[in-house]
Amino acid sequence: MTSPNVALLLLMLVAAVWTVMASSLLKSAIGLALTSVVLTILMFQLDSPLAAVFELSICAGLITVVFISAISLTKPLSAEQEQERILSRVKRFALLPVMLAVVAAVLCFSSFRPDFSVNFRPNPMLDVRHVLWQLRRFDLVGQIIVILAGVFGIVVLFKHRSKGRGGR
């Protein structure tokens, strides 16, 4: 099980680095969706199908749509500005792969192995629905409050903006 995991983890890291280093914002958004898709496959491998479905539908789907909408609602750069930005970006982001390689080498080849042993009672038979609806019920209340706060936030943001435009 470990070698497919390593391949998937490497693919996820490559997708994340591509997300950060891509010159176009659209490519970055697609790279982020790809990272989410690989994370979804990893979650399926680690026996978390429900969270994986959430990750795939919401993070790889909805959030990508939000990003692409935000990108399309903002003004694209001219060709000259784009060229200048690309040169500047290469200088600023060239350090990232080097830094990641160094940190990965240090973590892999050092003898440092933290002890993660904790006292726990494994309970693999516990159902996620029971946990979500019975044990962590207050989390659901928090989620509802957060969703309502988000809805009101969006309404206030766009309402304020349309008023400002009308005032001008």
Partner 1 sequence: MIIESANLFWLFGIFVILLLLTGSYCILVSRNLIRILIGLELLTKAVTLLIIVGGYVTGQMALAQALVITLIIIEVIVVAIAAGVIIGAHAHTGSLDVRDLRNLKG
Q: Which of residues 34-93 bind partner 1 (CB under 8 A)?
A: 35-36, 39, 42-43, 46-48, 50-51, 54-55, 58-59, 62-63, 66-67, 69-71, 73-75, 92-93
Give residues 90-149 in contact with partner 1 (rule: CB under 8 A). Answer: 92-93, 95-96, 99-100, 103-104, 107-108, 113-118, 120, 122-124, 126-128, 130-132, 135-136, 139, 142-143, 146-147, 149
Note whether 27 binds partner 1 by CB under 8 A. no
Question: What is the smallest separation between the CB atom of 78 and partner 1, expressed in angstroms?
Answer: 13
**Is position 11 an interface residue for partner 1 (rule: CB under 8 A)?**
no
What separation in angstroms does the CA of 17 have from each of 8, 110, 146? 14, 24, 30
Q: Which residue has the tokens 């973590």?
A: 107
Minimum CB–partner distance for residue 131 and partner 1 (Å): 4
161 scored as a contact of partner 1 (CB under 8 A): yes
d(CA 15, CA 60): 13
Report if residue 28 touches partner 1, rule: CB under 8 A: yes
Q: How far is the CB of 87 from partner 1 (least distance, A)?
A: 14
The nearest distance, CB 92 to partner 1, in angstroms, is 5
Q: Which run of H or of E encompasses 56?
A: none
Contacts of 151 (CB under 8 A, 6+ apart): none
Instruction: Tell me which residue has tokens 């930005």.
Output: 85
Tell me the H-state helices in 46-78.
Answer: 49-54, 63-73
54 token code pair: 């959430």
Nearest distance in Å: CB 71, partner 1: 6
C-alpha R_g of the chain: 22
